[in-house]
Structure 1
């Protein structure tokens, strides 16, 4: 497993759990880019996650945990491991937006809930907040003062929002996303006509959706054989 040590400290040991192999590799790449994290296990299902989290040799500090998997849910995983006394911190990473699910994940000890698809800056903000929380919890020792507790909780509340890239607006992004979701597959020109915006603006938002895996690019060939770029709404990612 690849490890990285930052500022002379031991790396934070992480177990990643997701049934999508691409998501697992994305987690690994993002953790390596952030520095100071070591992936000690990768699990593609709920049962494997329970085994990895309860195995003492892993000694994981953090789990990046998906919510929906073919053989169980992230909630199932947390219930099992908490019942066995495992206190590994958890950041839920999922496309599930159900408020009851979010509340239960938090009740079971999830310190963050990251909704897919996400950008690297957003991931980094969450992981850096956890790094500070982890550092402060270690520094507090076995008995914490009120000041220690306040600082630990404050660290998890930092950087909770990450702005869109310069020039993009949340309202327009939601409009473009809704239009693409409705038509399934569209070109920038077709989206621009639907929304009454310029083709260039439409393309910028569609390219951003492709970058965060909300959409996929395809080549569309017209009657004259000249290719255009069309964008396909990625409905699959919303199921994870």
Structure 2
């Protein structure tokens, strides 16, 4: 039986929902983020605010939260000419992928996460990758995750489980999942408490915009990440 998890936690909507999923499921949960030379470090600040808000709002989860880790993955910024690591406009490439795709990012993240999980004695790696609402990134596919799970378990000579709670749900369903998880942790709050944490503290915007407040949170409202988040929130609230 699995009792511990390491959550890849960037501080966005998806990873915050994944963190709540892990806290609802496991006895000990640690978090991991990467500084990979991204254009905007806003998410690295936002994630600390999310962690603080969850600990404050959900005392029963706070007791399960272990160490938070930040690793330097700057090599990605050195070798990636993408709009997430360079000051360039977001466009579609001839490959059919947007230039927000950072080649090898999730593969490197999972490898480093597995090494850390090994050292920390953690059994499950939780990540917010998704095939339903995504930009075609090949390293977000279920097949990729399954292959990485096999490779990492073999390479570490220890069974590691890669858990992807969002893999087959869209953004509207991700909002609903956050609501349901919040409700389980705080029945008196009716599930809104975790949604409020996501709206107020999480960060998804590719451009690092934190001055414009929308019903679904802060962001420019124009980049693909904002549009996806806003559309999902709209579908969820109109149900």
- Higher CA-based Rg: 1
**More RCO (CA 8 Å, sep 6+):** 2
| Class of the TM-score when normalised by the shorter of the 2 chains | 0.3 to 0.5
Between Structure 1 and Structure 2, the one with more strand by share is 1
TM-score w.r.t. length of structure 2 = 0.33
TM-score w.r.t. length of structure 1 = 0.33
